[in-house]
Amino acid sequence: MANVSYPLDFERPLIELEKKIDELKALSVSGSVDFTSEISKLEKKAKKLQTEIFSDLSRWQVVQLSRHSSRPYFLDYVSHLFTDFFEMAGDRCFGEDPSIVGGFARFDGRAVMLIGHQKGRNTKENMARNFGMPRPEGYRKALRLMELAERFDKPILTFVDTPGAYPGLGAEERGQAEAIAVNLEVMSRLRVPIISTVIGEGGSGGALAIGVGNRVLMLQNSIYSVISPEGCASILFRDATKADKAADSLKLTAKDLKGMQVIDEVVPEPEGGAHRDHTKMAENLGKVLRKHLGELSALSPEALVQDRYRKFRALGVFSGR
Amino acid sequence: MAWFSKKPRIATTPEPPEAPSRMQGLWAKCESCDEIIYRQELEKNLNVCPHCEHHLPWSARTRLASLLDPDTFEEFDQGLEPQDPLGFVDSKKYKDRIKSTRKALGENDAFVSGVGRIQGHQVSVGCFLFEFMGGSMGSVVGEKCARVFERAHELKCPAIVFSASGGARMQEGIFSLMQMAKTSAAIARFRAVGKPYISVMLHPTTGGVAASFSWLGDIILAEPKALIGFAGPRVIEQTIRQKLPEGFQRSEFLLEHGMIDAIVHRRELRDKLVQILGLIG
């Protein structure tokens, strides 16, 4: 079980119960008193509680889970699922942006390109990673790596986890919008398989800029939205505290998006959320990635471009001709 | 109820104009220099203030009519109508919001498009209607815009898009976001015909529209002093906790930073388009 350092309010009862169980277990080992029956009773209770809490999450709770500070981040998946990762830095233009990480690696022995948003686990890391909010350099680095992947005929796996592109002064000066736009265009015509997985937060254009894949997957408790629920609430409800309401309006969970046929597959999380068991989560994701990569590998470069184009061309809901 | 409530000090993208009131009547007021202008004179001057040269909002249809050769504009896709895929409700139902906006403006959504000629050159054109929900891009705008490039592809002619938009339309959620990918993919295909795509950025061009087809022009022009960027100024100020420098994210700033090709006065826009079409159209 993962160490959940900052539990969310709604998972706290469960975490506390588990702590109690751990204490009892420790006592049983060291002492002479036998707590076996109590432990098994409490474990049953914990399991029931977990099912209760997680079987009917509100959208706002899913939003919180998607941002959970113990949630596996891109580099966690890199270490669980891939070998031989060679990180490549810089956009060859202005700088290096650590909020997007990328490089070649092996997946089941086969060389692939990995690109993902990277958040930090603590304040210091988050300062360095800019809370996973890329500047134009990050997007241009991603672009450079994707074009490299195409040149060497390697599939691209992207991992989306960002609150959004960074809204800062320098980012604007150096063409944040341009950087995102170019990625959208180039991704739509790359001649290698692309699989994009939303592993946490899919924050608007900053997420989509590495999200134009032949397959778009989402982890069960991840979100993908045109605007953050807080941003939506402050603009439309003129009250940022109504974010829970905005989350409902935006329909931003994996389940919602699968229902609207915007994404291809929901990757199941271990009960209690991805943060409770990184290894199991990575296993689940690996299985799904393997399946889709297998399917896409059978397609010719032309068919891959066509497939991706058709997919995004068809998105939209309107009436009339 | 709080005794004091904090109001944002700085206005960001302008609210879509309360359509008629300000635009009706004999006189208009320049929003930049506050001069009172005789409406007929203003209209004759392409809605550019004759005193300070400020470019006031200009209706999409008038713009197209004045830029294209007389009687050459053929509108397409005017029958596309917005839906409410999320059942979105804020202070008002999205359905009702669309209904009342459509009724007030006599337009189905925030984009008008078709085919016309400029000095004889056939062009596939599209133009935002900023007055329709801030020119926000939902499924209809994205679809119409993608079709501008598909039509240009089919006709093997240049494409021109005039952008004036606050960005993606929140009320259509993820579908609005996906229009960014859809339109950009349509451009990627269009590139194959070897005809130019000219993007003209008007005031304001921000968010998902700036971060997709608007910034993908082979040639990017902007009207003077247009607000152009990814994030709105208020969001940036809240993020960096300091005031933005004067002129930040305006056309002149972008030109200086190498992000656009040229700033063109509204009066000279047709001539510039003719020149570009003559060179590479």
Question: Quick check: is A5 in a domain?
Answer: no
Asked, for residue B66, whether it belongs to a domain, the answer is yes
Residues of A in contact with B213 (CB under 8 A): 181
**In this structure, are strands B197-206 and A100-107 parallel, antiparallel, or unpaired?**
unpaired
Give the Cα separation of A149 and B30 in Å (integer): 53
Residue A3 lies in a domain: no
Q: How many CB pairs under 8 A join A and B?
A: 187
Count: domains in chain A: 2
Residue range A228-245, pLDDT digits in tens: 999 999 888 888 889 999
As a whole number of angstroms, the distance between CA A204 and CA A138 comes to 16
Residue B24 pLDDT: 63
**Strand, helix or coil for residue A193:** coil
- Report CB contact under 8 Å: A176, B177: no
pLDDT number for residue A1: 47
Q: Are residues A38 and A112 in the same domain?
A: no
Give how far the C-alpha of residue A233 lies from the chain's centroid of Cα atoms, to the nearest Å. Answer: 23
Does residue A94 share a domain with residue A70?
yes
Q: Å from A137 to nearest chain B CA?
A: 15
- What separation in angstroms does the CA of A107 have from each of A84, A171, B98, B272? 9, 34, 48, 52
Residue range of the domain that includes A193: 63-313
Query: Which stretches within chain B are classed as H helix?
Result: 19-23, 39-44, 60-67, 94-105, 139-155, 173-190, 207-210, 233-240, 251-256, 269-280
Direct distance between the N- and C-terminal alpha carbons of chain A, in angstroms, rounded to an integer: 54
Quote the pLDDT of residue A215. 98
Q: Write out the H or E segment, with its range, that includes residue B127.
A: strand B121-128
Any residues with CB less than 8 A from the CB of B131 and at least 6 apart, and which?
B16, B17, B19, B57, B59, B105
Q: Cβ contacts (< 8 Å) between B170 and chain A: which residues?
A: 226-227, 232, 235-236, 250
In a domain, B162, yes or no: yes
Question: Which residue in B170, B184, B207 is closest to A232 by CB distance?
Answer: B170
Q: Is residue B187 part of a domain?
A: yes
Instruction: Return per-residue pLDDT of chain A as tens, 321 residues.
Output: 446 778 899 999 999 999 999 998 888 887 777 888 889 999 999 999 999 999 889 999 999 999 999 999 999 999 999 999 999 999 999 999 999 999 999 999 999 999 999 999 999 999 999 999 999 999 999 999 999 999 999 999 999 999 999 999 999 999 999 999 999 999 999 999 999 999 999 999 999 999 999 999 999 999 999 999 999 998 888 888 899 999 999 999 999 999 999 999 999 999 899 999 999 999 999 999 999 999 999 999 999 999 999 999 999 999 998
A318 occurs within a structural domain: no
Angstrom distance (rounded) from CA B137 to CA B214: 12
- Domain membership flag for residue A85: yes
| A281 HSE (CA, 13 A, CB side) | 29
Nearest CB neighbour to B178, from listed A168, A172, A262: A262
Do B185 and A250 make contact, defined as CB atoms within 8 angstroms? Answer: no
Count of domains in chain B? 1
Please check whether residues A38 and A179 belong to one and the same domain: no
CA–CA min distance B82, chain A (Å): 5
Domain for residue B98, yes or no?
yes
* Domain annotation covers residue B12: no
Tell me whether 0.90 is exceeded by the ipTM: yes
**Residue B21: is its pLDDT beyond 70?**
no
Query: A229 vs chain B: nearest CA distance in angstroms?
Result: 10
B39: in domain: no
Q: Are residues A123 and A50 in the same domain?
A: no
What confidence tens digit (pLDDT) does each residue in A107-163 have?
A: 999 999 999 999 999 999 999 999 999 999 999 999 999 999 999 999 999 999 999
Verify that A102 and A211 share a domain, yes or no: yes
Residue of A nearest to B231 (CA): A167
Give me the pLDDT at residue B7, please: 56
Confidence of residue B9 (pLDDT cuts 50, 70, 90): low
- Whether residues A182 and A48 fall in one domain: no
Which two three-digit tokens encode residue A179? 């950087």
On whether both A159 and A107 belong to a single domain, the answer is yes
Nearest Cα neighbor of B175 from B88, B80, B77 is B88
What single letter denotes the amino acid at residue B7?
Answer: K
CB A219 within 8 A of CB A73: no
Q: pLDDT tens digits, residue range B183-228?
A: 999 999 999 999 999 999 999 999 999 999 999 999 999 999 999 9
Residues of B in contact with A261 (CB under 8 A): none
Are residues A144 and A49 part of one domain? no
Q: Smallest Cα–Cα separation from A235: which of B149, B96, B34, B90?
A: B90
Write out the residue range of the structural domain in which residue B68 sits: 57-280
Q: Are residues A28 and A152 part of one domain? A: no
Q: Take residue A212 and report the two structure tokens written for it.
A: 């134009």
Q: Which two tokens stand for residue B167?
A: 């960005």
Are A315 and B208 a contacting pair at CB < 8 A?
Answer: no
Q: Indicate the SS3 state at residue B9.
A: coil
Q: Report if residue B16 sits inside a domain.
A: no
Residues of A in contact with B230 (CB under 8 A): 165, 167, 171-172, 176-177, 180, 205
From the list A187, A235, A262, which residue is nearest B170 (CB)? A235
Residue A252 placed within a domain: yes
- Same-domain status, A134 and A269: yes
| Nearest-CA distance A228 → chain B (Å) | 10
Q: With contacts defined as CB-CB under 8 Å, which chain A residues touch B187? A: 185
> Burial letters for B36-58: b for 16+ Cβ neighbours within 10 Å, e otherwise?
ebeeeebeeebbbbeeebbbbbb
CB contact under 8 A, A319 and B168: no
| Strand-pair category, B111-118 with B121-128 | antiparallel
Q: What is the CATH number of the domain that holds B90?
A: 3.90.226.10
With contacts defined as CB-CB under 8 Å, which chain B residues touch A317? 83, 85, 139, 172, 175
Query: Are A313 and B215 in contact (CB < 8 Å)?
Result: no
The conformational region for residue A168 under phi > 0 = left, psi -120 to 50 = alpha, else beta, is beta
Which of B151, B156, B163, B76 lies closest to B121 in space, CA to CA?
B156
Q: Could you give the 3-state DSSP secondary structure of residue A303?
A: helix
CB–CB contact B211 A318 (8 Å): no
pLDDT digits (tens, 9 = 90+) for B243-277: 899 999 999 999 999 999 999 999 999 999 999 99
Query: Has residue B47 been placed in a domain?
Result: no
